[in-house]
């Protein structure tokens, strides 16, 4: 039997006020592609409506948030509008123009390894590495097999935030193939920049050095944030990832990592990006075959 | 120009904030106390969006190299001009060569210096606010250091006729007394036990030393979550939710509450249980380490009424100033 992505038949959104100037809409308490695509579809439409008084439109994993000026747009009117959009949105009518991007990762790299070893004391499994622990609790025989699974199917950027440029990525596989790992019991005070971490059901790439609570799997040579916009792929924005982007994590060795870093530091590296049209319906029906077609364009 | 003789503890350039980029993880930054920032700008004849200098806990010393008008608002910092005490919340004249010095803050935590024409630094994404985490905006994306030189923006006209204007006493906040911070409960407050939800608003919370432009960590009783089987993707801790966006002013409770401020992370996986209303984010930012904070739950209508009252106060201040 071919693996399908089970649809969430009905979402039960909660509309909440954040003080007098935010509306937060939780489409679902659990993560699903349906909830995420719904968040993207509604926020895209609200952006297109260009209502006066809207300050920020922020899609998230299974929710979204609007920051608005209540002196211009009454909070109750905004919620009515959002509820109406929710009623009208039918994902089967939706397609997205998006990008698929080759994203090399040096798994089990020396830098995140050094960091994670400094924080073993409070870890769920002090005698293993984050990769070994994550492999074990997800039923893999080795960290190596686990890495193959993580890099084995593409991931969709379902939210950008925390700090500028950090993508949350959700792997494009059916629920039973999803990896799930706990976050650190106590957040680390340090994480190398460009670390690839995993928490809940999400991969995150840390743009800058700092605190973090995700299990550390590796490090990418690519930047996700370029404040000075020196790299060609950052011409339009200091932040690279966009919600809806598809990242294809590719396992690389140290030699390739160093070669890419050299080009990044020279400001010459061009990210491998292909434009694709994404159809939720086709993806839900046969994700593995659909992913294979998507990834093919990168060869 | 303004020469920074002594920069102080944490002094940055801030304006009304950087908007429209939250969805890429860019917090608004901007003056922590927008009321004091706005009033300072009004006193010197600026729009509220002009950049001011925000000083935290410790005042700075400045030397002016041109004639202009200034105003100081916010936390009391015993300002002196060439060694003589001068008033806050009042338009002051300064001349080429004058030295302004400010002391440690009493009654509040943050003080604003506005100058006619605003502080002229290069806008980044249409804002002059400093966001130090990634080093953008303000003065080279960082806190001011001794010896920095600030350029004053073009005021367009002579503003010396504003000198002597001051804010009526009734409109000057007494920050030390403002210990009730109004919140709208909600977001993910369904995760709290009924006892903890009540306790959030009944308990005395204390501002910890970890209270800055990113967030205010508060100390108080343990918060408890309703037990549940965690939804897919949320993570295992009862405080975890599927990562979501955080409103500025939202209160998250990893264990002890953290109120997110203007440089905060824009999203994450902790349950947020309510949001400080827009007017009271200003007041919270003036609370000092070890001072108490009480959360007072209000309705959306009450929050809107407070916002309206604040707008009217600002208009009334602006209208009272004689050019």
- pLDDT higher than threshold 80 for residue A3: no
Per-residue pLDDT at A2? 60
By three-state DSSP, how is residue A128 classified? coil
CB B246 within 8 A of CB B268: yes
- Residue A184 per-residue DSSP state: P
Q: What share of chain B is helix, strand, coil (3-state, %, to 5)?
A: 20, 35, 45
Q: Which residues of A touch B142 (CB under 8 A)?
A: none
Q: Among A37, A68, A93, where does a domain finish? A: A93
Per-residue pLDDT at B130? 98
Same structural domain for residues A152 and A75? no
Residue A4 belongs to some domain of the structure:
no
By three-state DSSP, how is residue B274 classified? strand
The CATH superfamily label for domain B181-310 reads: Cyclophilin-like (2.40.100.10)
Q: What is the mean pLDDT of residues A80-98?
A: 89
Residue A273 belongs to some domain of the structure:
yes
Distance between CA atoms of A70 and A68, rounded to whole angstroms?
6
Are the Cβ atoms of B184 and A18 closer than 8 angstroms? yes
By three-state DSSP, how is residue B312 classified? helix
Backbone angles phi, psi at B84, to 5 degrees: -105, 130
Q: Is B276 on the interface with A (CB under 8 A)?
A: yes
Across A194-211, b (16+ Cβ under 10 Å) vs e yields: bbbbbbbbbbbbbbbebe
CATH of the domain at A140: 2.40.100.10
For chain A, the straight-line distance linking the first and the last C-alpha, in angstroms and rounded, comes to 28
Same structural domain for residues A80 and A210? no
Same structural domain for residues A150 and A242? yes
Q: Give the closest residue to B23 by CA, choosing from A14, A241, A83.
A: A241
CA distance B238 to chain A (A): 11
Same structural domain for residues A189 and A226? yes
Q: How many CB pairs under 8 A join A and B?
A: 184
Chain B, 21 to 50: residues with Cβ < 8 Å from chain A are 21-26
Same structural domain for residues A30 and A120? no
Q: Which of A22, A31, A180 sits opposite B247 (nearest CB)?
A: A22
Q: What is the mean pLDDT of residues A50-75?
A: 97
Q: What is the mean pLDDT of chain A?
A: 95
Q: What is the mean pLDDT of residues A57-78?
A: 97
- Residue B287 per-residue DSSP state: -
Same structural domain for residues A146 and A256? yes
Chain A, 121 to 150: residues with Cβ < 8 Å from chain B are none
Q: Which of B19, B22, B278 sits opposite A20 (nearest CB)?
A: B278
Chain A, 63 to 102: residues with Cβ < 8 Å from chain B are 63-65, 67, 70-71, 75
Q: Which residue of B has its CA nearest to A199?
A: B235
Are the Cβ atoms of A67 and B22 closer than 8 angstroms? yes
CB A176 within 8 A of CB B280: no
Same structural domain for residues A104 and A88? no
For A99-134, the pLDDT digits (tens) are 999 999 999 999 999 999 999 998 999 999 999 999
Q: Where are the domains of chain B?
A: 2-175, 181-310
CA distance A71 to chain B (A): 8
Same structural domain for residues A84 and A154? no
Same structural domain for residues A218 and A252? yes
CA angle centred on A223, ends A219 and A227, rounded to 5°: 140
CATH of the domain at A72: 3.30.1360.40
* Domain span including residue A60: 14-93
Distance between CA atoms of B296 and A19, rounded to whole angstroms?
12
> CB count, 10 Å around CB of A56?
21
**Best residue in A11, A18, A61, A133 to probe B by mutation, most B CBs within 10 Å?**
A18
Q: Among A34, A67, A93, where does a domain finish? A: A93
Q: Is B2 on the interface with A (CB under 8 A)?
A: no
Q: Which residues of A touch B300 (CB under 8 A)?
A: 17, 20, 75
Same structural domain for residues A129 and A268? yes
Residue A9 belongs to some domain of the structure:
no
Same structural domain for residues A73 and A109? no
Cα A106 to chain centroid, rounded: 18
**Best residue in B23, B251, B312 to probe A by mutation, most A CBs within 10 Å?**
B23
Instruction: Please tell me the total count of domains within chain A.
Output: 2
CB A163 within 8 A of CB A209: no
Q: Which residue of B has its CA nearest to A22?
A: B247
Q: Is B249 on the interface with A (CB under 8 A)?
A: yes
Per-residue pLDDT at A1? 47
CA distance A67 to chain B (A): 8
Q: Which residues of B touch A225 (CB under 8 A)?
A: 134
Relative orientation angle of helices B34-43 and B300-320, to the nearest 10 degrees? 20
Per-residue pLDDT at A299? 85
Q: Give the closest residue to B272 by CA, choosing from B215, B189, B211.
A: B189
- pLDDT higher than threshold 80 for residue A83: yes
Are the Cβ atoms of A26 and B244 closer than 8 angstroms? yes
Average pLDDT, consecutive stretches of 10 residues, N- to C-terminus, chain B (323 residues)? 97 98 97 98 97 98 98 98 98 98 97 98 97 96 98 94 96 96 97 95 96 96 94 93 97 92 96 98 98 98 98 97 88
Same structural domain for residues A44 and A147? no
CA distance A292 to chain B (A): 24
Q: Which of A61, A67, A200 sits opposite B240 (nearest CB)?
A: A200
Residue A136 belongs to some domain of the structure:
yes
Across A69-90, b (16+ Cβ under 10 Å) vs e yields: ebeebebeebbebbeebbeebe
């Amino acid at each position: 039997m071919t693996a399908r992505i089970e649809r969430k038949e009905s979402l039960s959104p909660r509309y909440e006020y954040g003080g007098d100037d935010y509306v937060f809409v939780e489409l679902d308490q659990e993560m699903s592609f349906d909830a995420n695509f719904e968040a993207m579809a509604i926020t895209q439409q609200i952006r297109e409506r260009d209502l006066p008084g809207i300050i920020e439109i922020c899609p998230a994993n299974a929710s979204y948030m609007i920051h608005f000026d209540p002196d211009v747009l009454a909070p109750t009117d905004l919620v009515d509008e959002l509820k109406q959009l929710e009623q009208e949105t039918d994902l089967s009518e939706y397609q997205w123009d998006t990008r698929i991007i080759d994203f090399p990762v040096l798994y089990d790299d020396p830098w995140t390894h050094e960091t994670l070893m400094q924080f073993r004391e409070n870890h769920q499994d002090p005698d293993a590495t984050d990769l070994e622990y994550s492999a074990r609790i997800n039923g893999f025989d080795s960290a190596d097999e686990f890495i193959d699974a993580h890099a084995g199917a593409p991931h969709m950027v379902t939210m950008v935030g925390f700090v500028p440029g950090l993508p949350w990525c959700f792997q494009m596989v059916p629920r039973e193939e999803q990896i799930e790992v706990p976050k650190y019991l106590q957040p680390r005070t340090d994480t190398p920049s460009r670390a690839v971490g995993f928490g809940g059901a999400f991969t995150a790439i840390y743009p800058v050095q700092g605190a973090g609570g995700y299990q550390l799997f590796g490090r990418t040579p690519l930047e996700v944030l370029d404040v000075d916009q020196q790299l060609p792929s950052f011409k339009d924005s200091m932040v690279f990832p966009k919600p809806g982007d598809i990242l294809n994590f590719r396992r690389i060795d140290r030699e390739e990592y160093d070669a890419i870093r050299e080009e990044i530091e020279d400001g010459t590296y061009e990210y491998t990006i292909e434009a694709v049209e994404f159809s939720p319906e086709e993806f839900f029906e046969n994700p593995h075959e659909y992913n294979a077609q998507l990834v093919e364009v990168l060869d | 120009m303004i020469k920074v003789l002594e920069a102080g503890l944490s002094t940055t350039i801030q304006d009304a904030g950087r908007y429209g980029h939250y969805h890429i993880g860019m917090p608004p930054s901007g003056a922590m106390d927008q009321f004091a920032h706005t009033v300072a700008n009004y006193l010197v004849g600026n729009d509220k969006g002009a950049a001011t200098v925000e000083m935290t806990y410790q005042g700075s010393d400045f030397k002016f190299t041109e004639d202009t008008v200034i105003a100081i608002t916010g936390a009391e910092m015993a300002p002196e001009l060439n060694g003589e005490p001068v008033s806050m919340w009042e338009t002051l004249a300064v001349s080429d060569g004058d030295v302004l010095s400010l002391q440690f803050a009493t009654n509040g935590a943050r003080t604003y210096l506005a100058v006619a024409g605003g502080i002229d630094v290069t806008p980044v994404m249409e804002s002059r606010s400093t966001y130090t985490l990634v080093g953008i905006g303000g003065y080279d994306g960082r806190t001011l250091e001794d010896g920095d030189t600030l350029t004053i923006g073009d005021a367009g006209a002579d503003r010396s006729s504003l000198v002597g204007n001051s804010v009526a006493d009734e409109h000057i906040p007494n920050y030390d007394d403002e210990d009730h911070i109004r919140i709208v409960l909600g977001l993910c407050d369904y995760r709290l036990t009924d006892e903890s939800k009540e306790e959030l608003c009944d308990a005395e919370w204390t501002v910890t030393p970890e209270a800055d432009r990113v967030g205010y960590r508060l100390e108080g009783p343990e918060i408890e979550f309703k037990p549940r089987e965690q939804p897919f993707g949320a993570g295992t801790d009862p405080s975890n939710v599927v990562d979501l966006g955080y409103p500025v002013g939202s209160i998250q409770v990893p264990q002890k509450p953290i109120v997110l401020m203007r440089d905060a992370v824009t999203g994450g996986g902790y349950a947020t249980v309510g949001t400080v209303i827009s007017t009271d984010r200003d007041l919270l930012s003036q609370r000092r380490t070890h001072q108490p904070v009480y959360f007072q739950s209000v309705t959306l209508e009450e929050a809107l009424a407070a916002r309206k009252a604040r707008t009217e106060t600002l208009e009334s201040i602006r209208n009272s100033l004689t050019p």
